[in-house]
Amino acid sequence: MSILERQARVFFQLSRASKGSRTWRRCCQSASPNPSKQKPKPYYVTTPIFYVNAAPHVGHLYTFVLADILKRWALLRGDRSAVMLTGTDEHGMKVQRAAQKAKTDTKLFCDQTMLQFDRLARKANISYDRFIRTTDPDHKEAVQHFWRELSHRGYIYESKHEGWYSVSDETFFPPSAVHLIRDPATGRKIMVSKETGREVEWTSETNYHFKLSAFRYRLLRLYDDNPAFVVPATRMNHVIQEVKKGLEDLSISRPAERLTWGIRVPNDDSQTIYVWLDALVNYLTQAGYPFADRTGSGTEWPPDVQVIGKDITKFHCIYWPAFLMALNLPLPKQILTHAHWTMNHAKMSKSTGNVVNPFFAIDRFEVDTVRFYMAYDGGIADDTDYDNAYIIERYKKLLQGGIGNLASRIMRGKRWSVHECVRYGAGQDLEAEPLGKDHRTRLAKLQAQVQHQFMTLNPREALHHIMDVLALTNKFITHNAVWRIVNDPNEKAQRDVKIIIYYAAESLRICGILLQPFMPSKMERLLDMLGVDETSRNYGHARLGRDLSYGIPKADLGAGADTSLFPPLTSEL
């Protein structure tokens, strides 16, 4: 091919990429919230794509569960559809070396390991819409288009790069961010990152760079205009301080002679695209980038929330918005950065084997119990220590002794009809009734309290609000001695019984609806036990007196502890 032919080919590819991106960008921008003109943009939530260098651990499960809860909450709201993206990051030096260590073909290694992540998502009842892989053909095309666009706009240049590189972190660190230590395991002296503690190696090479430094002030303006762009606020402040220190241009390729496993730079097979640029584009791939007609629309973009672990904040909250700004693409609305699960107060790490096998946990305690524990105890701002004893404690006190006990007390009561009590209570003017006044007030506030916590991306606090109401309901029944007054033939006593059971049943119904994103299978059974119709289980029905038709079980209540909603654990420790 002549020089002129090569130049013409490059010009054609750049023009095609630019045209495709403009079409896709217009499609995103034309999405209208007015249903009469166009369907509302789906709620789009993502997890990071997980490295396939080792099997998943319970920290990955936590990310899965958080994102799934947010998606299910959006669906419960009912005002629009929702899409969840997850998947695996299968390129980069870390994966390449892991395959070499396993003495297997790299693609085969990826195929085998990604199945474990997909299996975990299915086992945990994660309602994802696509499991993306960076080895997918459409993703490769999207990444190369993204590169061409950056190059076409003048944000990529070639230069020599030297620095300390961490294969585990897939990133360079400046000299001030590394130090020399003695490895406790081998006794040898090694350079490690001060931030992550992982080994670094000195690298000197010629590669391509992205003009990250050009986006310092645009990023600071983004953070200033959107103070909740990163959640929680402590991590938002950390990101701001990092950018204020100044940004260096980012090395975005590696010599192919050193990194063979990845997507090659368009028109330069001697370079492989940096794994983080490659990986971040996956969120665009799902939305049909760069050609909107590939999926029929491009309106999923931008993400409503991207759920990530705190250790990859820099890549998602600095690099990622800068890449998108360079192409004038809409930015994610929010990024939820959660804390880590620890063991013995040390971070879980696949490389050290300090991990909890999530498959064993689910097999032992059942999926909804583990989901509940993850959401109830998992940290957003602060790390949480994992312990089976805590799962057992939460199960006995909150699930078995809380919601399960309440359901049995109400639905298995032989001296009243829940259906009649519901119809009676809803048909009375109870505002002036002193019995249950405080409980009525608490129930009336619950829906808004839970919604507020979800709007601030804090499902843990939302769950705590719900469980507090259930605990108060059990106390309410006990305090009012419903088991005693039900035997009193006095008209007032019988009226009180109906009011007490009405409030207790409403607590179960409302909380059962709001708990669906956390424990979908168990709450389906609870609402069946209550006799709540399938069409009456959405957010709009989670209000006091909203449903008068339930109370006749749609499922066999059984008899005995083994048939209860949360039966005794077969083994404890």
Residue 24 has pLDDT above 90, yes or no: no
Closest CA to 158 of 271, 278, 318: 271
Closest CA to 518 of 7, 19, 124, 184: 124
Residue 8 has pLDDT above 80, yes or no: no
- Residue 466 sits in a domain of what CATH number? 1.10.730.10
Distances from the Cα of 478 to the Cα of 360, 483, 487, angstroms: 37, 8, 15
**pLDDT on residue 40:** 85
Q: Containing domain of residue 55, as a range?
A: 20-365
Sequence-distant (≥ 6) Cβ neighbours of residue 357 within 8 angstroms: 55, 57, 58
Q: What pTM, to 2 d.p., does this model score?
A: 0.88
pLDDT band at 282 (very low <50, low <70, confident <90, very high): very high
Residue 14 has pLDDT above 50, yes or no: no
510-531 tens-digit pLDDT: 999 999 999 999 999 999 999 9
Mean confidence (pLDDT) of the chain: 88
164-203 tens-digit pLDDT: 777 666 677 777 777 877 777 677 877 877 777 777 777 7
**pLDDT on residue 560:** 64
Instruction: Compute the residue count for the chain.
Output: 573
Closest CA to 301 of 288, 290, 287: 287
Within this chain, do residues 189 and 293 fall inside the same structural domain, yes or no? yes
Q: What percent of the chain has pLDDT over 90?
A: 66
CB 286, CB 132: distance < 8 Å = yes
CA 159 to chain CA centroid, Å, is 37
> In the listed set 365, 380, 408, which residue is the last one of a domain according to the structure?
365
In a domain, residue 570? The reply is: no
Q: Which two tokens stand for residue 383?
A: 């790390």
Within this chain, do residues 248 and 139 fall inside the same structural domain, yes or no? yes
Within this chain, do residues 332 and 411 fall inside the same structural domain, yes or no? no
Within this chain, do residues 200 and 339 fall inside the same structural domain, yes or no? yes
**Tokens 């000197």 label which residue?**
204
Within this chain, do residues 326 and 447 fall inside the same structural domain, yes or no? no
Residue 36 has pLDDT above 70, yes or no: no
107-147 tens-digit pLDDT: 999 999 999 999 999 999 999 999 999 999 999 999 999 99
Residue 11 has pLDDT above 50, yes or no: no
In a domain, residue 50? The reply is: yes
In a domain, residue 209? The reply is: yes
**pLDDT on residue 357:** 92
CB 252, CB 156: distance < 8 Å = yes
In a domain, residue 232? The reply is: yes
> In the listed set 332, 365, 398, which residue is the last one of a domain according to the structure?
365
Backbone angles phi, psi at 83, to 5 degrees: -130, 130
Looking at the structure of the chain, the number of domains it has is 2
Residue 34 has pLDDT above 70, yes or no: no
376-420 tens-digit pLDDT: 999 999 999 999 999 999 999 999 999 999 999 999 877 889 999
Q: Which amino acid is at 193?
A: S
Closest CA to 134 of 249, 292, 240, 284: 284
458-513 tens-digit pLDDT: 999 999 999 999 999 999 999 998 888 988 889 999 999 999 999 999 999 999 99
Within this chain, do residues 359 and 392 fall inside the same structural domain, yes or no? no
Within this chain, do residues 428 and 498 fall inside the same structural domain, yes or no? yes
Within this chain, do residues 258 and 114 fall inside the same structural domain, yes or no? yes
Distances from the Cα of 398 to the Cα of 147, 314, 408, 506, angstroms: 51, 37, 14, 18
> In the listed set 365, 380, 414, which residue is the last one of a domain according to the structure?
365
Within this chain, do residues 283 and 230 fall inside the same structural domain, yes or no? yes
Which stretch of 7-21, 280-294, 336-350, 434-448 has the lowest confidence by average pLDDT?
7-21
Cis peptide before 332 (omega within 30 of 0): no
Q: Which two tokens stand for residue 430?
A: 């109870």
H/E stretch holding 173 reads strand 171-173
In a domain, residue 200? The reply is: yes
In a domain, residue 204? The reply is: yes
Q: How far apart are CA 194 and CA 2, in angstroms?
A: 50
Within this chain, do residues 207 and 278 fall inside the same structural domain, yes or no? yes
**pLDDT on residue 197:** 73
Q: How far apart are CA 329 and CA 320, in angstroms?
A: 11
Within this chain, do residues 226 and 173 fall inside the same structural domain, yes or no? yes
The burial class, CB within 10 Å (0-12 / 13-18 / 19+), for 324 is: buried
CB 90, CB 134: distance < 8 Å = yes
In a domain, residue 380? The reply is: no
In the three-class reduction of DSSP (H, G, I as helix; E, B as strand; rest coil), residue 254 is classed as strand
In a domain, residue 569? The reply is: no
8-state DSSP, 540: G
Within this chain, do residues 420 and 328 fall inside the same structural domain, yes or no? no
- Residue 311 sits in a domain of what CATH number? 3.40.50.620
